[in-house]
Structure 1
Amino acid sequence: MYHWSKSEERLNRYAGRLEGESLSFLVHYWGTIQHLTANSIHRHSFYEICYVDGGTGIYTDGNQMYPLYEGVAFCTIPGQLHQIKDVDGLNLLFVAFEPMERPSAQEVTVKYIEALQRCAVWTEHASDSPAIQIWKSMLLRSEADTSLPASLLPKLAHVLLKSFPSLFGASGSFESAPLLSSALQLVQKAKLYIRDNLGGPVSLPEVAAYLNVSERQLSRLFAESIHESFSSMVRTERIRAAELMLQHTRDPIKVIAERTGFSSVHYFTRLFTKFKGIPPAAYRAKWALEADHQE
């Protein structure tokens, strides 16, 4: 019914940065995988929403275990240890993302985040929900000329991500949810500052001074809020920014390394390869080849 791998490639190409008037999203990756294999216990610094389109398995969230079967959706919040195991023919749709704050609409963004934090981890009978119907409408269908055009994907993806709190039963609307805690607001502001200043050293004292908090307090906020150190967050953001530049610019590798704050091309290449499993030049070539196949 669907072209699974081509659907994933198309979504990752056209629905990565989703802009809205008051709420925008950065999608780290989309996944549409048949017969997913089990994975090890791990955590993310972003949100990940999954929907089971077939097969069975077990999802662990901290010390809790949830059954996976067709029609189930589940949500992983940043910093939470989780795992998918005991799989049998598991077909999964998933998306990893985070809201992007804008100074003019910060209140809407933090309310959306708070709504996701209140969401249930697991829900069943999701196949007929508006959110999942939108998700499936974005996939490439096996039948010729029945798929939606790629130009609609950004708008549909934005609506999908915006609808996730209601899919998981967050009470009311996130537009009227209570504000995020002051600690998490500081972490969000720190993330934005890091992203806006990746070309420089971006030190802990610098960011702490910008936020008017002590270095010790900022380190503790990162550890307690997203279970990630400050240095790890900076490294993750540098890799993320470099990945986007490799995808969407023709800038030389040396220039990308400089603009994302790496001390040398050698260090950039080594770190990028470690985290992405492929050197920067090969990553760019692979991305370009996949993009050409979608034309």
Structure 2
Amino acid sequence: MDLNKYLSGKTSLNDYVHRLNQNGASFQIHYWGVMPKHYDNQLHKHSFFEVCYVVEGEGTYIDDHCTYSLQENTLFLSRPEVLHQIKSEKGLSLLYVAFELIESESSESWIRIMETAKLCTEIILHDQYEMETALLWKSLLIQATKRNNEFFEEMLSTIASSLIISILQDFIPALNKSNHKHDPEQFSVLLIQAQLFIHDNLSNSLKLTEVAKHLHISGRHLSRIFVAELGVSFSKYVQDERIKKAIILLKKTNLSLKEIAEETGFMNVQYFTRVFTSMMRTSPGRFRSLFVDKNTTTYSEI
């Protein structure tokens, strides 16, 4: 990767990406760096975090009197108030970013996370191949060169936020642990697909076996998904969705009850009226007249 191509991207990042807000954290970005050839610098320290990624080259990094080797695909972290220095005889091709948490605008959990980062002992990460953080960083630079994109600033902010989180995950193992007690069930995606199919095809019969066939699973499996995920049977869910749509049509259209029954998948207007009255405690016609004429009675949409 020739970093000379992305010097304009560095300028864009420093022009547009100064503050990032995500998941209760607010970060101040002090600067972004793209250095095609970085040689030696003086022993120094910062009041903030600085993270560097070696794109090409070899050198050494001195941190708190410890010396580490630098090579291609190395990510290293400079912590606040820790003396550090970079050395290289032939020059390093570097990407770097400096940032700190704005505590007054961040949650207590993020304050604790950043305090943990200050005590991080594994500050050098080597990878034979490009790590996810490096790919995000390069993607950010590519986007940063495209100032004419309609959503230029929004894309920079989104990718930059993901990059900072990815960097912190690399150096703080605790961030990689899920906050959930267990992983989501595999059928959660199937539930979403089933719900979308039902929503878009309410005028059809929507039998359990037909929807299951559309999703390439058994009817028994689909039935279990609805009970486990939503706590209701498949048939009850479909019926509720039919009534929800009927309520909208009664409120917002002049369709006849027969037409509404057809649109919502009821076999006839009599059955539609019976189900609607049972669930809403008033008939469809009465519901419509109260809503349109008086506009004072509030009905929940189930």
TM-score by length of 2: 0.52
The CA distance in 2 between the partners of 1:49 and 1:22, in whole Å, is 21
**Greater shift after overlay, 40-49 or 120-129?**
120-129
2:154 corresponds to which of 128, 136, 151: 151
Report if the CA contact (8 A) 1:7-1:140 is conserved: yes
The 1:160–1:117 alpha-carbon spacing in structure 2 relative to 1, beyond 3 Å, is farther
Q: Deviations over 1:172-226 (max 9, x none)?
A: 227899xxxxxxxxxxxxxxxxxxxxxxxxxxxxxxxxxxxxxxxxxxxxxxxxx
2:47 corresponds to which of 37, 45, 49: 45
The 1:29–1:93 alpha-carbon spacing in structure 2 relative to 1, beyond 3 Å, is same
Secondary structure of 1:78 counterpart: coil
Report if the CA contact (8 A) 1:108-1:175 is conserved: no
The CA distance in 2 between the partners of 1:143 and 1:80, in whole Å, is 33
Q: Which residue of 2 aligns with 1:286?
A: none
The CA distance in 1 between the partners of 2:37 and 2:135, in whole Å, is 21
1:92 corresponds to which of 79, 91, 94: 94
Could you tell me which runs of 5 or more consecutive residues in structure 2 were left unpaired when the two chains were aligned.
180-302
The one-letter code of the counterpart of 2:14 is N
Q: How do 1:206-285 residues align onto structure 2 when only pairs under 5 Å count?
A: none
Q: Deviations over 1:27-70 (max 9, x none)?
A: 11010110112101001000000000011111101211111111
The one-letter code of the counterpart of 2:15 is R
The CA distance in 2 between the partners of 1:29 and 1:135, in whole Å, is 14
Q: Deviations over 1:74-98 (max 9, x none)?
A: 0010111111113313100000110
The CA distance in 2 between the partners of 1:32 and 1:94, in whole Å, is 7
Q: Which residue of 1 aligns with 2:56?
A: 54
Secondary structure of 2:127 counterpart: coil
The one-letter code of the counterpart of 1:67 is S
The 1:102–1:35 alpha-carbon spacing in structure 2 relative to 1, beyond 3 Å, is same
The 1:119–1:99 alpha-carbon spacing in structure 2 relative to 1, beyond 3 Å, is farther
The 1:41–1:115 alpha-carbon spacing in structure 2 relative to 1, beyond 3 Å, is closer
Q: Which residue of 2 aligns with 1:171?
A: 173
The CA distance in 1 between the partners of 2:128 and 2:145, in whole Å, is 24
The CA distance in 2 between the partners of 1:34 and 1:72, in whole Å, is 15
Report if the CA contact (8 A) 1:10-1:150 is conserved: no
How far did 1:126 drift? 7.0
Q: Which residue of 2 aligns with 1:128?
A: 130
The CA distance in 2 between the partners of 1:60 and 1:93, in whole Å, is 18
The 1:116–1:173 alpha-carbon spacing in structure 2 relative to 1, beyond 3 Å, is farther
How far did 1:107 drift? 2.7
Q: Deviations over 1:243-276 (max 9, x none)?
A: xxxxxxxxxxxxxxxxxxxxxxxxxxxxxxxxxx
The 1:24–1:89 alpha-carbon spacing in structure 2 relative to 1, beyond 3 Å, is same
The CA distance in 2 between the partners of 1:166 and 1:59, in whole Å, is 21
> Highest Rg: 1 or 2?
2
How far did 1:136 drift? 0.8
The one-letter code of the counterpart of 1:90 is L
Q: How do 1:57-136 residues align onto structure 2 when only pairs under 5 Å count?
A: 57-102=59-104, 105-115=107-117, 117-118=119-120, 120-125=122-127, 127-136=129-138
The one-letter code of the counterpart of 2:122 is A
The one-letter code of the counterpart of 2:162 is V
The 1:63–1:151 alpha-carbon spacing in structure 2 relative to 1, beyond 3 Å, is same
How far did 1:11 drift? 1.1
The one-letter code of the counterpart of 1:22 is G
Structure number with the bigger relative contact order (C-alpha 8 A, sep ≥ 6) is 1
Q: Which residue of 1 aligns with 2:299?
A: none
The CA distance in 1 between the partners of 2:145 and 2:50, in whole Å, is 29
Q: How do 1:9-20 residues align onto structure 2 when only pairs under 5 Å count?
A: 9-20=11-22
Structure 1 runs of 4+ with >4 Å offset? 141-148, 174-177
How far did 1:158 drift? 1.2
The 1:150–1:86 alpha-carbon spacing in structure 2 relative to 1, beyond 3 Å, is same
